[in-house]
Structure 1
Amino acid sequence: MTLVSCIAVDDEPLALGLVCSFIEKTPFLKLVGRYSSAVEALEAIHSQPIDLIFLDIQMPDLTGIELARVIDKKEGKTPKLIFTTAFNHFALEGYKVDALDYLLKPFNYEEFLRAATKAQAYMELVHRAAAPPSPQAPTEEYLYLKVEYQMYRILYDDILYMEGLKDYVKVHLKNEPKPLLSLTSLKSLEDKLPESKFMRIHRSYIVNLDQINAITKNSIQIQGQTIPVSEQYKEAFSQFLSKWL
């Protein structure tokens, strides 16, 4: 069982006490700090390893959203967030700063546990992905992708191509009518994918080389979708093209 170290941040003493009591009764959570302001919490975040923050949004001096933006610029491992707030119109802001979940006050232990369990599952996925494979272990054939508040495990062989759209990436899959939409960058995904199976052929496209149906000097085709090859990637693409000729 992955033990998740966490802190609670809320300027309301009753709300802070409730969250801390919920954390302490949850076996896989370890409470390492409680703070009545985001400014106090910031010092703790920089001085000790923390996996998860239960974070109020409406606070004086520094709001939860503002703290989340500061944390995002922190070097090294950054803690994940679960927002706790009485205002549901902050949900979109929470999504933009990559929060794991959003608890609307007043919430009960069942709702809290559901969000905490989601965080634990996320941490386990991250730990498994970061762990070095044993010499006997087969190479992983899948990608972890965050879609809204869930982590998906996607087989490489199921990916047709990826399409970058500003702050998002569309991942087009076999036998799926709608692509998965993830708040990430194409560069971030490119760094995780094996070069033997995937190639970036355009600033907006990464393709699965095994899924190519047809090919020309300036484009490829995957399941009827024509994808252009931009000038920036033509040299690498030409080397791949020579294997087809």
Structure 2
Amino acid sequence: MNEKITTLVVDDESLARQGLTIRLQQYPELAVVADCSGGREALAQIKALRPQLVFLDIQMPGMNGFELLREIKRSGISMPMVVFVTAYDQYAIKAFEVRALDYLLKPVDDERLQQAISRICASVSAHQEQQQQDKLINLVAEVTGEDCEDILRRLAAGSDIGSARYPEHIAIKESGEITRVAINAIEWIDAAGDYMCIHASDETHILRRTMKELEQDLNPQRFQRIHRSAIVNMTQVEKLCSRQNGEYHLVLHNGQQLKVSRSYKDKIKQLILNR
């Protein structure tokens, strides 16, 4: 190899990220160009630096590893080689032996890291890199907004994750026009009589359906009822706030505040803690 492989490390755990970065710097085949504490930061660095290789943690708050890959694909830039880093040892072998260039289990073993880097170096050719990119793109197409652990469990069991259980768009008829709204772009939904107000990408669409009917088209790993007349996209949640009167409100990334009813409070609090 004449040139070093430009490498990015992504992990929300500070010690794990720093430790892996230091260890990778000991390999002359690699050049660590940056390390990132989350998916959004990593996306910006990948766009700017175009690394050939990414060591990618899967379960991260805000934007997990699968969602980061999806955003890379959406941006139109070349997909880097990826070594997944995971704590899900009971799922890892089945999940990644055909999906990624390699995987590492936390805590990362020295010998296993050496094996992974040897495999990386052996794979650095135009043909093999393209094969790796194709595998990752196929994975991105299959996993859209689903829970990471659920994905790994289903892969380990040999289940097919390619068949979508939930639609990617919802058709809304308004003023003689039909608008296709991406499900994952929906921020929250509230009821107004017999109509649903769909809030997505700074626009509000009116849909004549019941809340119960609409819930059937929404992935419960992403969308949760917070009130009898409101559903929220949990990936849009920034924080949960308590008031002096005992009420709870969700604050979304766009600043919108939504009341959480008492019957849903504990479940929502637990979901936020586990994300």
Normalised to the residue count of structure 1, the TM-score between the two structures is 0.48
Normalised to the residue count of structure 2, the TM-score between the two structures is 0.43
